Amino acid sequence: MEEQLPFLLLIAIVTLSAVMAGLFMAWLKQPPLVGYILAGLILGPAGIGFMPRVDAVPLVAEFGVLFLLFVIGMEISLKAFIADLRPAVLTVIGQLVIAFCAMMLFGLMLQWRFEQILLLAFVMTMSSTAVALKVLDDIGELRSDLGRIVVAVMIAQDIAVVPMLIVANSFQAGGAIEASTIVTVVLAIAVLVLFIAFVGPKGKLHFPWQDRILGRVEMVTLVALLICSTSAVLTGIAGMSPAYGAFLAGLIVGKTTLRTEAIHAMEPIQGVLMVLFFVAIGLLLDVTFIIENLGLVAVFVLAALVLKSLANIAILYFVGLPWTTAYQAGLIMGQIGEFSFLLAAIGLASGVLDPVGYKLAMSVVVLSLLFSPLWMRAVKHAHDATEQRIGSFATAFFAAPVPEDAVAPVETKTSENKDAKRDSEVP
């Protein structure tokens, strides 16, 4: 017991620090995950050195992401996603192609291997769902046309991360993409496509023995954990990654009558694990590396925020969205997402990323999220300026004040619109 007390006290202090930092960021109307990262940064070797060892970080990361994918799968509204399937999928493909081309340029200059270029392209492609939803909520566009397309792209990215994880894990076998990996990825994508095509348009499916499960939190939790774990084990044995199984299990549960109660039961578990995950990310951040390579890190962070936003705007406009929608959505998705941490960690474990490449990737992702509050403020100003310009144009054109609902139809939300678009939000 004496040996456990210091460790338990350590965990309690870390949890208290993370919760306080998260609540402080929420009070500032910013994503709490930024506070979790800052708490880890302050407690870790780069700060006061309270947590010098982070041996359990990979385990916490993979365990947390497993349940994150399960919850995301349950939350996805396949009906809403199918409605915006074409622009969402084309946008993610365009993001991946542009990220790969950008990393190829850096790779040629820095003599990176193809596997490293591909993995870093995966890292740069992902955007933060938490930050994007927070921005949409703050500007009042969560259930508008703008919110619908951003959520659809986020869903497409969440689906795309599954084959990304399969490819990244295949590098552990020797650092090269083999034919079997390509077959596995194609099979995994085919299963997802078939599931979305045939099950997505249908209504809720009756869950077996639901009368004995619904209304009992402990039973709902156990059944959800059973389905998630079973699917993760089966796909892991089949070589498709446990994360793929967890996500597929979430999609299946999300189409049943168990969905609502399962989400409420699993979200607290997943939330606690993700708090520890982001604290661990802060612990891993090497401030000395950032200072010694400030120029290189600054270039990558600038590219991640500015060039990624510009690329998003161009892609969204190219796939047929109006300029104002493409402009605002592109800025909202300009940061790097949570799954990038896991992809970088897998790259380090497999040897695809050397310690320097890993530190660079982690620094860029963390700084991208830490700067997200400033980026969110810029997005709000851009949104307000865009709406104001539309209003000014309408006023000048009609030579008389125009009713608010005619000037800014995007902001008009009748009860019918709310009901029609509620499914477009990831709950």
Q: HEC profile for the chain? A: CCCHHHHHHHHHHHHHHHHHHHHHHHHCCCCHHHHHHHHHHHHCCCCCCCCCCCCCHHHHHHHHHHHHHHHHHHHCCHHHHHHCHHHHHHHHHHHHHHHHHHHHHHHHHHCCCHHHHHHHHHHHHCCCHHHHHHHHHHCCCCCCHHHHHHHHHHHHHHHHHHHHHHHHHHHHHCCCCCHHHHHHHHHHHHHHHHHHHHHCCCCCECCCCHHHHCCCHHHHHHHHHHHHHHHHHHHHHCCCCHHHHHHHHHHHHHCECCHHHHHHHHHHHHHHHHHHHHHHHHHHCCHHHHHHCHHHHHHHHHHHHHHHHHHHHHHHHHCCCCHHHHHHHHHHCCCCCCHHHHHHHHHHHHCCCCHHHHHHHHHHHHHHHHCHHHHHHHHHHHHHHHHHHHHHHHHHHHCCCCCHHHHCHHHCCCHHHHHHHHHHCCC
Return the pLDDT at 167. 84
- Asked which of 18-22, 319-323, 356-360 is least confident by mean pLDDT, the reply is 356-360
More confident residue, 152 or 56: 152
Residue 341 near residue 361, CB atoms below 8 Å: no
For residue range 328-368, list pLDDT tens digits in order: 889 888 888 878 888 888 888 878 888 888 888 888 888 88
Burial group, residue 239, by CB count within 10 angstroms (0-12, 13-18, 19+): middle
Looking at the predicted structure, is the pLDDT value of residue 20 above 90? yes
Distance separating the N- and C-terminal Cα atoms of the chain: 42
Lowest-pLDDT range, 50-59, 247-256, 401-410? 401-410
- Banded pLDDT at 55 (limits 50, 70, 90): low
Give the residue from 229, 216, 231 showing the smallest Cα distance to 262. Answer: 216
Q: What does pLDDT average to over the chain?
A: 79
Question: pLDDT tens digits for 64-114?
Answer: 778 888 888 888 877 778 888 889 999 999 999 999 998 899 888 888 888
Q: What is the Cα–Cα distance from 64 to 58, expressed in whole angstroms?
A: 10
Q: Which pLDDT belongs to residue 62?
A: 66
> Domain containing 59: what range?
4-424
Cα dihedral 349, 89, 275, 235, rounded to 10, equals: -50
pLDDT at 53: 56
Distance between CA atoms of 370 and 42, rounded to whole angstroms?
A: 13
> Taking a C-beta distance cutoff of 8 angstroms, is the pair 289, 366 a contact?
no
The residue type found at 292 is E
299 and 124 Cβ atoms separated by less than 8 Å: no
> Span 42-51, mean pLDDT?
74
| Residue range 197-207, pLDDT digits in tens | 888 777 788 88
420 or 217, higher pLDDT: 217
Query: For 143-176, what is each residue's pLDDT tens digit?
Result: 788 888 998 898 888 888 888 888 887 776 555 5
Residue-level pLDDT at 414: 40
Closest CA relative to residue 208, chosen from 252, 269, 251: 252
Q: What angle do the packed helices 145-170 and 179-199 form, to 10 degrees?
A: 150
Angle, helices 32-43 vs 4-27, to 10°: value is 140
Whole-model pTM: value is: 0.75
Q: What is the percent of the chain where pLDDT is above 70?
A: 82
pLDDT category, 61, cuts 50, 70, 90? low
Q: Which residue has the higher pLDDT, 319 or 338?
A: 319
Q: Report the CATH number at residue 238.
A: 1.20.1530.20
Distance from C-alpha of 223 to C-alpha of 323, rounded to nearest angstrom:
46
- The structural domain count of the chain equals 1
Choose between 304 and 97: higher pLDDT: 97
- How far is it, in rounded angstroms, from Cα 125 to Cα 157? 8
Mean pLDDT over 262-284 rounds to: 82
Contact 244, 165 (CB under 8 A): yes
Which of 393, 341, 401, 282 is closest to 64 using CA atoms?
341
